[in-house]
Amino acid sequence: MILEGMYFENAIMHSETRVYPQFPTATSGLVEGTDAVYRYGLRESSYPTLVIVDEIQDGSGHYIPSGHYELALSDDRQFLLLLEAKKLWAIIPVFKVEVSMDETPQIHDYKSLKAKRKKDKEIWKTNRKRERKGMPPINEEEQIYQEASIEYNKDGKYFLIRYERGDVKAWGAVKAMEFRQEYK
């Protein structure tokens, strides 16, 4: 709609006249956020991401190609699992595991439990309101610190892989052939 001249100025003066459309226009008929990709998409991974720049080869012809991998710790904490698109690429033995006990007293403290219950109640109320409007619920998981790293050790000719998620740290090693450059 094109408005010009005196008519445009008079139209703006009236409070009942709307020059711009009331609702945003969508060319496809879908409003942003109602598409299935947004509503039913998978959650992000809960594992740290490990980036391998060059492929890792051992002496017997096996290799791990370069790429982005999820690094998971097995339930018994004996192995690190290297996953790409939920497909297992490698099982790495763990030689050291540390569990931090710094936050354990805070978890069982009366004040922290009361604060957690209050926060859970607020999330429940918000999700109930969002459900009435047809919106997906908010994510109830707290942010957990997670990190994965890899470095090459020239002396031992192996890759050291470090896994950290929350209060658990684990180290694993992969024996490799001679490697030309050093990871940083």
Ranges 40-49, 87-96, 139-148: which has the least confidence:
40-49
Hey, where are the domains in the chain?
A: 36-175
How much of the chain exceeds pLDDT 90, in percent? 18
Q: CA quadruple 92, 51, 45, 99: dihedral positive or negative?
A: positive
pLDDT tier at 183, thresholds 50, 70, 90: very low
State the pLDDT at residue 184. 45
State the pLDDT at residue 46. 78
Please write the tens of the pLDDT for every residue from 170-179: 999 988 776 5
Distance CA 14, CA 3 (A): 15
Q: What is the mean pLDDT of residues 83-102?
A: 88
pLDDT above 80: residue 123: yes
Rg of the Cα atoms in the chain: 27
Q: CA quadruple 123, 124, 127, 132: dihedral positive or negative?
A: negative
pLDDT above 50: residue 13: yes
Q: What is the mean pLDDT of residues 40-58?
A: 75
Distance CA 67, CA 42 (A): 21
Q: What is the mean pLDDT of residues 92-101?
A: 90
